[in-house]
Amino acid sequence: MKRRAGEVTMRYYIVDAFTDRPFGGNPAGVVLLGDAPFPDEGLMLQVAAELRYSETAFVRRLSATECHVRYFTPAAEVELCGHATVATFALLHRLGLADGRCLCHTLAGDLEIEAGERVMMQMAAPRIVEAIADTDAIYRALGLDGYRPQLPVQVAYTGLNDIMIQVPDVTTLNALQPDMEAVASITKEHETTSFHVFALPTQTIKQSNNQAITAYVRDFGPLYGIPEESATGTANAALTHYLAVNGVIPQQGDFAFLQGEAMGRPSVVATRIAADGTVYVGGTAAIVAEGNLLLDNK
Q: Any idea which residues carry the catalytic annotation?
A: 55
**Pair 124, 159: CB distance under 8 Å:** yes
Distance of CA 103 to the CA centre of its chain: 18
HSE, side-chain direction, 13 A CA sphere, residue 104: 33
Closest listed residue to residue 53, CA positions, set 25, 32, 33, 11: 25
Integer Cα distance of 25 and 16 in angstroms: 6
Q: Residue 7: which H helix or E strand, with range?
A: strand 7-17
Integer Cα distance of 167 and 200 in angstroms: 8
Closest listed residue to residue 228, CA positions, set 257, 268, 194, 272: 194
174: left (phi over 0), alpha (psi -120 to 50) or beta: alpha
